[in-house]
Chain A
Amino acid sequence: MNVIYHCFGSAHSSVAAAAIHLGRLPCDRKPAIKEIISLYDYDATETWQVGTLFYKGQDESGHSVYAVGFGPESRTTKLAIVSLLENLGIDTSDLFFQEALLHINSFAKIGGALSRRYGMVRIGRPLSAAGIWLGYGKLVRFVGQVKEQLKKRDKNC
């Protein structure tokens, strides 16, 4: 299964979700803001990279984990990807899209926009990380639900 966490630019929420999924961020405690910022791929993507599928690693069950930014119309982009592949006769049931953007708060979103869109990295990066830190529990629960769904899918296969 290919687990694909997506958000606007694959710089913050999808990166943090993938990091929790892969154990690079803890799920049993709240990490320090510094730990979030020091992720190698946190707040790192540029605007031109939106749409790029970033491989993040393999989880304990052998699922490949990715992060991608779909820009402002994630539904349209997702549909375009799946429908093109299906038109080509490709079975897309191994794509497991999960929208991470819904699971972060406004601080993280505003911080992310300041850093990536407006280039105010010194303010935006710590603000986005603080936002993720504040709502960390929600993000951990989201990743936990994703893992549960993956387990159910694996059982059904």
Chain B
Amino acid sequence: MQIRVFYDSGDGRGALMTAALEKGLLPIERMPHEAEIVQVFEEHYRGFRYGRVYRLHASETSVFWCGLGRAAPFTIRAWRHFLELYDMRQTDFIFIDCPLLVSRKRSIRLFRKTAKEVIKNMAIFQSVILQRWKED
């Protein structure tokens, strides 16, 4: 089973958006509506905690997302080592670095503001998905 972990070096919103595109929670063939983005945030971003890895969906390909802040560069290496400790097959895991969202507000009421930023920068999230062959 392939496991994809989308992470960013911020508060995880960029990772969540990219993972949502990957899982089809947001459309990739057209620009998502603001309401669709807000819905993803409301359903999946509540109770966000730095470092916690969230599962987006259980299916053939498991998709996880997380926000790692300043810990990102060291965490990826640590993940690989701990996977080795538990004899997990390294090739099953793909860690995908995602773009950051720069707006600082994270409260539910301000998800709309974030959604606007996501729409404005949708291309960079789509680029991550389109470049996953590099990781494969």
Q: Which A residues fall within an 8 A CB radius of B? A: 2, 49-53, 68-73, 75-81, 83-85, 87-88, 90
Contact = CB atoms under 8 A, between A and B. Distances in A.
B50 A79 contact: yes
Choose among B3, B69, B77, B82 the residue with the greatest number of A CB atoms under 10 Å from its CB: B82
Chain B interface size, under 10 / 10 to 19 / 20 to 34 / 35 or more = 20 to 34
A108 B76 CA distance: 27
Contacts of A81: 75, 78-79, 82
B88 interface: yes
B64 A69 contact: no
B100 interface: no
A18 B135 CA distance: 36
Contacts of A49: 77
A54 B48 CA distance: 31
Contact of A51 (B64, B76, B84, B85): B76
Given A53-B85, A81-B82, A85-B82, A75 B77 contact: no
Nearest to B49: A79
B81 A53 contact: yes
Choose among A52, A69, A76 the residue with the greatest number of B CB atoms under 10 Å from its CB: A76
